[in-house]
């Protein structure tokens, strides 16, 4: 662990910081937090507010709102003690500093390989030796294809991956699929599932050792809220 990673977790007088992802997971996570007895100050739900850091009803617990991909980084480096992140994000970064004790059961989708639907009938993935994919998940894609002996050339995009095959950037994509509507609307078909995805509670391992009671209580409350859902 680097000195940077020790930064926040080392001071027991700091508030406990919970990092929450803005975007589509948030509306599904808020009811869980409410059930866990955690209420965040009203500005948190106000999209026009430029605030990023919020007080809660629990003394010593502060919430920060960050991009979904950044939750894992804030928690891994100890800038936040715990957070909520999709398992897609955790898989991509694969930070050893993170412990993911709870599957929150929300934000369910899958990470999949897709290609133009016209290709599917004559394609045989077992014969691939090299693929070129556009993806927001280059590490996950590389690891997945490597286990099958396939070399993956990954073109990193942050969104609108479904456009890449139409525009000749690549033939295939690796992206999240839930209903399949986005693939269908763009003439693509899912050919392989890499992993099922859901949102997880993540905890910095060092923070848990330094604040076992405070963090342990939050984890228990959230587990109870998930069990009651």
Ligand X SMILES: O=P(O)(O)OC[C@H]1O[C@H](OP(=O)(O)OP(=O)(O)O)[C@H](O)[C@@H]1O
Ligand Y SMILES: Nc1ncnc2c1ncn2[C@@H]1O[C@H](COP(=O)(O)OP(=O)(O)OP(=O)(O)O)[C@@H](O)[C@H]1O
Residues that bind ligand X (CB under 6 A): 24, 159, 175-182
Q: Smallest distance, Å, CB 22 to ligand Y? A: 7
DSSP symbol at 195: E
Kindly give, in sequence order, each residue whose CB lies less than 8 Å from that of residue 126, ignoring residues fewer than 6 positions away: none
- Alpha carbon distance, N-terminus to C-terminus of the chain: 36
Q: Smallest distance, Å, CB 10 to ligand X? A: 35
**Which residues contribute to the site for ligand Y (CB under 6 A)?**
21, 23-25, 67-69, 86, 88-89, 107-109, 176, 178, 197
CA atoms of 61 and 15, how far apart (whole Å): 6
Partner whose footprint covers residue 181, from ligand Y, ligand X, none (CB < 5 to 8 Å by kind): ligand X
Partner whose footprint covers residue 89, from ligand X, ligand Y, none (CB < 5 to 8 Å by kind): ligand Y
Helix residue ranges per DSSP H, 66-157: 68-76, 87-93, 117-120, 138-147
Q: Smallest distance, Å, CB 33 to ligand Y? A: 16
Partner whose footprint covers residue 107, from ligand X, ligand Y, none (CB < 5 to 8 Å by kind): ligand Y
Q: Of how many residues is the chain composed? A: 229
Paired sense of beta strands 199-204 and 98-103, if any: antiparallel
Partner whose footprint covers residue 125, from ligand Y, ligand X, none (CB < 5 to 8 Å by kind): none
Question: Is the Cβ of residue 97 or residue 175 nearer to ligand X in the bound state?
Answer: 175
């Amino acid at each position: 662990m680097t000195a940077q990673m020790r930064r926040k977790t080392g001071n027991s007088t700091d508030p406990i910081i919970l990092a929450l992802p803005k975007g589509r997971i948030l509306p599904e996570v808020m009811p869980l937090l409410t059930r866990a007895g955690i209420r965040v100050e009203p500005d948190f739900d106000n999209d026009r507010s430029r605030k990023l850091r919020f007080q809660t009803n629990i003394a010593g617990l502060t919430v920060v709102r960050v991009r979904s991909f950044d939750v894992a980084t804030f928690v891994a480096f100890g800038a936040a003690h715990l957070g909520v992140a999709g398992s897609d994000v955790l898989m991509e970064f694969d930070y050893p500093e993170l412990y993911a004790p709870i599957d929150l059961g929300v934000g369910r989708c899958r990470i999949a390989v897709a290609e133009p639907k016209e290709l599917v009938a004559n394609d045989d993935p077992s014969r691939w030796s090299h693929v070129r994919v556009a993806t927001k998940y280059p590490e996950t894609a590389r690891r997945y294809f490597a286990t099958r002996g396939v070399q993956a050339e990954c073109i990193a995009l942050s969104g609108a991956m479904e456009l890449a095959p139409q525009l000749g950037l690549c033939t295939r994509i690796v992206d999240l699929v839930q209903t399949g509507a986005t693939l269908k609307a763009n003439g693509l078909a899912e050919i392989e599932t890499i992993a099922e995805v859901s949102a997880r509670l993540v905890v910095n391992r060092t923070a848990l050792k330094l604040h076992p009671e405070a963090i342990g209580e939050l984890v228990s409350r959230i587990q109870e809220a998930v069990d009651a859902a």
